[in-house]
Amino acid sequence: MRSLAHIYRLGVKELYSLRHDPVLVFLILYTFTFAIYTVATGVKTEVRNASIAFVDEDGTELSRRMRDAFLWPYFKPAALLPSTADIDRAMDAGKYTFVVVIPSRFQADLVAGRHPTLQLDVDATAMTLAGNGTTYITTILQNEISGFAARSEGGAALPVSISVRSKFNPNLESSWFMAVMQIVGNITMLSLILSGAAVIREREHGTIEHLLVMPVTPAEIMLAKIWANGSVIVAAALLSLVVVVQGLLAVTIAGSIMLFLLGTALFLFAMSSLGIALATLARSMPQFGLLAIPFFVVMNMLSGGVTPQEGMPAFLRMLMQASPSTHFTSFSQAVLYRGAGVDVVWPQLAAMTLIGTVLFVVAVRRFRNTMAVGQS
């Protein structure tokens, strides 16, 4: 009971210290409000207002139908280039992302049963837009050609009808994905920064000497910093989910928010331990920032939220299983997107608990050595 009292009082002290640090308070508020909203509404993975042009060497009803099929908001009004000689100059100037070339006698060859070819030039410097836009354009052109061919052949029906239903994000809105993944990334970043800053702040303000003469253990000091900073992040994440994600962005949360907060607490335990361990290696906030940034970038980029784990090399995929961010990303997607329960996500919860325990033991040893050096 005495140990719990020490942890509680030291945690309250951490909350008071955080309250009097306006930079960190602003960072927390900004990260879970404005940053979430702007990224979710500004970063689009679907095709929006893509620039497209046509070189129409056929000039027939079918070619006009294909040109008129590209509509806002997916595409800007289709432009018409005089000839294929103008394609390179227009694309080099960045005027168009896509250029479709319709060759002469395209409609006549199609009606005659021959196999004419369309040419699609794509500016692949915008990789995501190029990939998604190519799929959009291919589908639109195929639909127009199929409709024209069916009409010219007497309305022959296709032998197979394909119906596509998208689960969890029926309208394929990128804001639904970006909002939740931004919260996951911000939790990762702040858990490192706040826990490490708490240790650096003790050293820079000279209060580490006060802790050395108090009847408290390094584990108690660490647990106090973890619960204090972790509770702030959990509260900020909850408000962000309810106010920003569900309220302003109108994103549907399929699963239990309380289960998500439980997993967040376990993840914060692991990440805060890592942040404290890194802080024991640094002597100032700039040094700690240089140490924390590579960890955050790698853990965020390779966690499965930015790029799927299945697309990574096997050795890298196995290596990232030792990162708590990998399991937290998988856990968050399962709970918030697919409405999974404890019976589904318990492996991720167990993995975060195990990794957090290992990181906590390492951090306690590093912190104890730091305090011993300071006392000597």
CA angle 140–49–85, rounded 5-degree value:
75
Q: Which residues contact 135 (CB under 8 A, 6 or more apart)?
A: none
Do 241 and 345 reside in the same domain of the chain? yes
Our separate counts of H helices and E strands in the chain read 15, 4
Do 93 and 238 reside in the same domain of the chain? no
- What is the DSSP annotation of 29-43? HHHTTHHHHHHHHH-
- Overall number of domains in the chain: 2
In this structure, is residue 186 part of a structural domain? yes
> Which residues are bridge partners to 55 per DSSP?
101
Do 323 and 186 reside in the same domain of the chain? yes
Do 266 and 347 reside in the same domain of the chain? yes
Query: Which of 193, 352, 194 is CA-nearest to residue 260?
Result: 352
Structure tokens at 9: 């009082």
Domain holding 31, by residue range, is 2-43+175-375
Do 56 and 33 reside in the same domain of the chain? no
In this structure, is residue 273 part of a structural domain? yes
Question: Could you identify the residue written with the tokens 């289709």?
Answer: 78
Whether 174 and 240 have beta carbons less than 8 Å apart is answered as no
CA dihedral 171, 177, 178, 181 (to 10 degrees): 170
CA distance 116 to 202: 73
Do 97 and 24 reside in the same domain of the chain? no
Domain end position, chosen among 152, 183, 202: 152
Which pTM was predicted? 0.81
For residue 304, what is the DSSP state?
A: S
CATH code assigned at 102: 3.40.1710.10
In this structure, is residue 29 part of a structural domain? yes
Do 20 and 131 reside in the same domain of the chain? no
In this structure, is residue 166 part of a structural domain? no
Burial status of residue 372 (CB atoms within 10 A of its CB: 0-12, 13-18, 19 or more): exposed
Q: Which residues contact 2 (CB under 8 A, 6 or more apart)?
A: none
Do 15 and 107 reside in the same domain of the chain? no
In this structure, is residue 106 part of a structural domain? yes
In this structure, is residue 157 part of a structural domain? no
The pLDDT, as a whole number, for residue 373 is: 55
Report the chain's C-alpha Rg in angstroms.
28
Domain end position, chosen among 120, 152, 184: 152
pLDDT in tens, the chain (376 residues): 788 888 888 889 888 888 888 888 999 999 999 999 998 888 777 888 899 999 999 999 999 999 999 988 889 999 999 999 999 999 999 899 999 999 999 999 988 888 899 999 999 887 888 888 998 999 999 889 888 887 765 555 555 666 777 787 777 788 888 899 999 999 999 999 999 888 888 777 777 667 767 778 888 888 998 999 999 999 999 999 999 999 999 888 989 999 999 999 999 999 999 999 999 888 888 889 888 999 999 998 899 888 788 888 889 999 999 999 999 999 999 999 999 999 999 999 999 999 999 999 999 988 877 765 554 4
CA distance 33 to 183: 10
In this structure, is residue 109 part of a structural domain? yes
Give the H or E element holding residue 101.
strand 98-102
Do 183 and 320 reside in the same domain of the chain? yes
Do 37 and 61 reside in the same domain of the chain? no
Do 98 and 195 reside in the same domain of the chain? no
In this structure, is residue 164 part of a structural domain? no
Do 136 and 200 reside in the same domain of the chain? no
Q: How many residues does the chain have?
A: 376
